[in-house]
Each structure stands twice: as structure tokens, then as C-alpha cells.
A and B are shown apart, each in its own frame.
Chain A
Amino acid sequence: MDEAEIYSRLTQIFNDVFDEDDIHVTPQLSAKDVDGWDSLTHIRLIMTVEKAFKVRFSTAEIGKLENVGSLVGLIKART
């Protein structure tokens, strides 16, 4: 799966999880840039991403995610 497709699917996931329709998903996007991105929604986001991309992330990997770029890196490594 190429990056463009990943970003496209992630945009949809973000808009669903955060109940928005205008989130612009970039590699630098992180929790401080999105209203309502707290620990709880972070978990919902991870679970939705895992389901959508049919992957499983380890505890350490989830804990080390700093921004969307590192999430995309993980997805690429798994798919």
C-alpha cells in the first residue's frame, strides 16, 4: 500500500473518530493540533486504524507514536 492511499484512508478515519470533516492529515499532525485528541480518543483512533488496515501494534509502538508520520511508518511496515 502506498503512502498516498494510507493518508487518504487515515483522513477518513480521523474525520470519523473526531466527528469532523475538515481534518487535514499531515505527517506532522499530532494530538496538540486536534481538539479532543486525548488519551481516550487516541485509543479509539488506534483501534480503528488497526481494524481498517488489519494490523496490530505493540504496546511500545503505541506508546512511542509522536505524530501521524510515525503512525504511517508503522502501518507501512506492517502492510
Chain B
Amino acid sequence: MDSASIQFLAFGLAAALASNLSRSVVWRSLVLMVASVAFLVLLAQRPVVLLPLGGFLLLGYLGLVMMQRGLHRLLVSSILAVVFAYIWLKKYTFLPDGIFLHSPYFTLGLSYIFFRVLHLLIDAGEGHERRVGIGGYLLYTLNFTTFLSGPIQRYDEFARDQFAEQPIGLGPRMIGLQAERIVRGFFKVNVLGTLFHAFQEDALAQLFQPLPPSQLLSAAIRLAVVYPLFLYCNFSGYIDIVIALARLMRLNLPENFNRPFSAASFLDFWNRWHMTLSGWLKTYVYNPLSIALMRRISSVGMQPLIGVFCFFVTFFLIGIWHGRTSEFVFFGILQGSGVSINKLWQIGLTRAIGRKGYQSLAKNPLYAASSRGLTYAWFSFTLFWFWADWTQIRGVFAALTGPQWSGVWLTVWIGAAVVLASWESLRAALLSIKTSSGPVLTNRYSRVIFASALGLAAFCITGLLNQPAPGIVYKAF
């Protein structure tokens, strides 16, 4: 149930069917609550392991109630309490081992609940008029469609749909679109994700084999190239499924991906990858931190550097949110550095050739392709600290010499630049084939053909061949 499996699909579709038996707010909320609790119980298997999660939710709700009653002076301490509780429950390794609970307990979904709780707390602490009761709080935090891996939805958007007297429409066309999205998501996770994961594992195994240098180089390149593709298929595929299931329950969830490998800069990449995460941190970390610093440091010349610093902090936090060990601290440093260096480059280039000159350069196809390739290569590099531990990382990098690794990353950069630029051109060319009602490839007949092919492939790989698919990576965070 904690993956994009047939069981999860069946569960979600059953919940959607039940939810649509009546349009009343009470009925739909009851169904969502029952489904979410059932989902939790099925995942946890023993109720007692849910107690710490329950405690965390209670802590968050207490903080929210205090803020809603006007005790805004307690906002900072409430936030700190929630953050500490999160770090403690997740067992971040910079805390002493002795303070952790050592009996097993359930933490799936905690990382996303953390954001939802903080968002409610901060908004209420700043005087937001919104009033959230215990029912709304639990529905919002435990909503099974967003429980495991997001997207991170704001409460107002959730409440707008969930508590609407007239729920958003759901006709045959919309049902068909969601069915298509479910098929596409299922295919991404269980077929593409499986294949890319296999490529990565095979390449990793080959790096430790007694092979000639040319084959080791090939393995290293494959290892670097494949993981971002795997992660994209694994994560975005699951998001496709949950967005579709939620829509069938008349809930609009925010998109989490927008063609991330089309990004022509690392900054732009994070506007397209896990968008709700970067959006949340931009709202609740980058913006207030920038404003606070700019209020204290009035020098206009320093403002770009303040921006760079705030980018580093924001994306460092994004990095360490992903995991509790030192690998993720380094992952955060790499994310922060990538974004900061990107921003410094933009600032420096703008100063050197002027804003119009920079804008013109950014539109140059060669520059854009090169930037796209570099973004891909950098993201791929940082992901080594995402999927590997220090021992594996040392082993992987020891498999080749320094110059060989330089060659690998240069190849990845240039290769990604060429492939992604070709893909952009091909995509544009295919979408330019139009009829009066729009591009041929996106009309309903083409989409039915495509979805049918994907569905058949997914059926064969998953159902017939019973190929095991890797679990949803982002549920672990």
C-alpha cells in the first residue's frame, strides 16, 4: 500500500467511488477521514506505533489553538517545539542517540505533515483569520492522497475544495483524464522507474567489477545519467496517481513537476522539480529571511548577496529535509551551493554585459542547451549523496581516477546538453503538427492510443511478468 501498487490504486478508486455517492460536505469529509485512517492503519499495522505521530499532531494542534486564540507571542516557541519534535522523531544523527525512542514507531508521512503543521502555525501566528477546527486539521494533515509523498498543499486550497457546498465538477471527460493520468503515473513508476533503477543498479555493480577502463567509464556515465531519470519517474509517477485520485474525490492538488529537465538553470530547475516543496520553503524561509536581512542591512549593493545567502540557506534546508544523516547535510550544501553559484553567475554576468545582454545570451540556443546540460549534470552529481552512503560514495569515486571522473562529468554535461536540446526541438516539432482543435499529439484520440499502449506495457511488466518495482523513494522523507 505504500507504493504505486495495484492495491493502492484499488484503495484510492474505492475511496473515490464512495466519496461520490453524495455531494454533501459531511459525507465527502467522512469518506476522506475513514479512508485516511484506514490507510494509516494498513500502513502501520499496529496502532501502538502510531502514538508518536499522534503526539506530533497533538503538539501541532495545541500550537495552532494557541495562535488562533491570539497568543502570538508564543509563535516562535511553538515553531521551535514542532521543529524539535520533528528532528527528534526522525532521529537526526546530530542529536545524541540516548534521547531517541528505541522501540519501533511509525514515521511515514511525517515530513509532509511537518510542513502542513508549520504552515498552519505560522499563518495563524501572523494573524491569519482562518479558523481550523480539529476535524479540518486532521483531514488536512492525514489526507491519504498526499500523506506519503505530498504534494504539499496549502490549507486554504484544500478547504476550498473539500468544504465546498458545491464540489468541483466531475464529468465523464474529467474521469477519462484522470484515468489517463493514473495509467501514465503507473507506467512511470512501475515500468520506466523499474527499468531505470535496474540500469542504475547494474552500472553500480559493474563499477566494482574487474573490467577494462572503457567499460568502467561507461558504467560510471550510466550511473550518473540514469538516477535523475529514475527519481523523476518514481516520484512524479506517484504524484500523477495521487493527483488523479484526489481529483476523482473532487479535490484539486497542486502540481509538483513541470518538465524539470527543460530547466536552463539550477534555479529554474527547483521551480520545476518538487515545486510544492521549493514553493513552501520560498514562502516560509526565503522570503521572510530575505526581508528580515534587507531590513537590517539597508545597503542596496548588498541586496544581491543577501539574496544569494538566503538561497543557500533555503536550499540547504531543502537538502537536509531529505534525510537525517551527514550525507544529507552534504546534499544540502551542494543544493545550496548550486543555487548560490547560479545566482552569483547571473548577477556577475548581468553586471558584466548588462541586463539586456544577459537576457539575449540566455535566449541563445547554444547557451540554453549548455546550461540545461550543466543543470542536469550538477543535479545528477548532487544525487550521489541522496542515494548512497559515505562508504558507497568513497567506493564509487575510487573506481576511477580523478581525470577519468572529470571525463565522465564532462560527457554527462555535453551529452545531456545535446539530448535535452534535441528533445526540446523534437517536442516542439511534434506539437506544431496541428489541426483546427490543437496539436495532433494532445488530442483525445492520440492520448487514448498512448494511454492504451502504456497501460498494456504496465500490465505486462507488472501483472504478467511480476517484475518488482522499487518503492516510492520520497515516502522515506
Contacts and interface: CB of A to CB of B under 8 A. Distances in A.
B is a partner of A:
yes
A60 interface: yes
Given A40-B307, A59-B122, A47 B291 contact: yes
B123 A35 contact: no
Contacts of B287: 39, 42-43, 46, 59, 62-63
B284 A43 contact: no
A39 B283 CA distance: 10
Given A39-B307, A40-B307, A47 B126 contact: no
Interface residues of B, number: 26
A59 B307 contact: no
Contact of B284 (A36, A40, A42, A63): A63
A46 B294 CA distance: 11
A39 to B, nearest CB: 6
Contacts of A40: 290, 303-304, 307, 343
* Contact count band on A: 10 to 19
Contact of A60 (B283, B294, B311, B343): B283
Interface in B344-388: 355, 359
B257 interface: no
A46 B291 contact: yes
Contact of A58 (B127, B286, B343): B127
Interface string B288-302: 101100110000000
A24 interface: no
A40 B284 CA distance: 15
A54 interface: no
Contacts of A36: 355, 359
Interface string B62-82: 000000000000000000000
A63 B282 contact: yes
A57 B435 CA distance: 47
Contacts of A43: 287, 290-291, 294, 307
A58 B72 CA distance: 13
Contacts of B303: 40, 44
16 contacts: A35-B355, A38-B267, A39-B282, A39-B307, A43-B290, A43-B291, A43-B307, A46-B291, A58-B127, A59-B122, A59-B123, A59-B287, A60-B122, A60-B154, A63-B279, A63-B282
Interface of B: 119, 122-123, 126-128, 154, 267, 279, 282-284, 286-288, 290-291, 294-295, 303-304, 307, 311, 343, 355, 359
